[in-house]
């Protein structure tokens, strides 16, 4: 299963949920959309690259992003890991880039929006997802 397509689909659901409900915290969004945490972070990273989402305290809301500096820097780290190692699973990216797994998925969403990355879900329950550069 193509994880980038899954993230892109969730971007639309996340946008719709926040536009109707207003600011929500992560757990409410995940429960509302019924998605996996990693894909949630991927969608947030995608919207951050589009400059359309922000996080204030624990709430996410639509608007000019305040996530660019952190997510953009982590995207650079993830890109470097993939450029060096080729196809790598998310947990290994986290270790090699020295960033937590949520930040890996924020960066993955950012890179996906830029069209620089591919990925596939091997086992979503086991959290086995592999990525590589286009």
Task: List the chain domain ranges.
Answer: 3-133
Instruction: Kindly provide the residue ranges of all beta strands, DSSP E only, lying in 80-127, ordered along the sequence.
Output: 88-89, 117-123
Residue 101 half-sphere exposure toward CB, CA atoms < 13 A: 13
Please write the tens of the pLDDT for every residue from 68-126.
999 999 999 999 999 999 999 999 999 999 999 999 999 999 999 999 999 998 887 77
C-beta separation of 18 from 63 below 8 A = no
pTM: 0.95
Q: Are 2 and 119 in contact (CB under 8 A)?
A: yes
CATH topology of domain 3-133: Arc Repressor Mutant, subunit A (1.10.10)
Place of tokens 């397509």: 5
Interval 18-39: pLDDT, tens:
999 999 999 999 999 999 899 9
């Amino acid at each position: 299963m193509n994880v980038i397509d899954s993230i892109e689909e969730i971007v639309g659901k996340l946008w719709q949920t926040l536009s109707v409900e207003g600011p929500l915290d992560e757990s409410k969004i995940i429960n509302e959309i019924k998605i996996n945490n990693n894909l949630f972070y991927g969608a947030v990273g995608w919207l951050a690259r589009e400059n359309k989402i922000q996080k204030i305290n624990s709430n996410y809301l639509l608007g000019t992003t305040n996530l660019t500096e952190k997510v953009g820097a982590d995207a650079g780290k993830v890109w470097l890991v993939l450029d060096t190692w080729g196809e790598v699973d998310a947990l290994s990216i986290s270790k090699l880039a020295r960033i937590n797994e949520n930040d890996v998925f924020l960066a993955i969403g950012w890179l996906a929006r830029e069209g620089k990355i591919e990925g596939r879900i091997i086992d979503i329950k086991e959290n086995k997802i592999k990525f590589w550069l286009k």
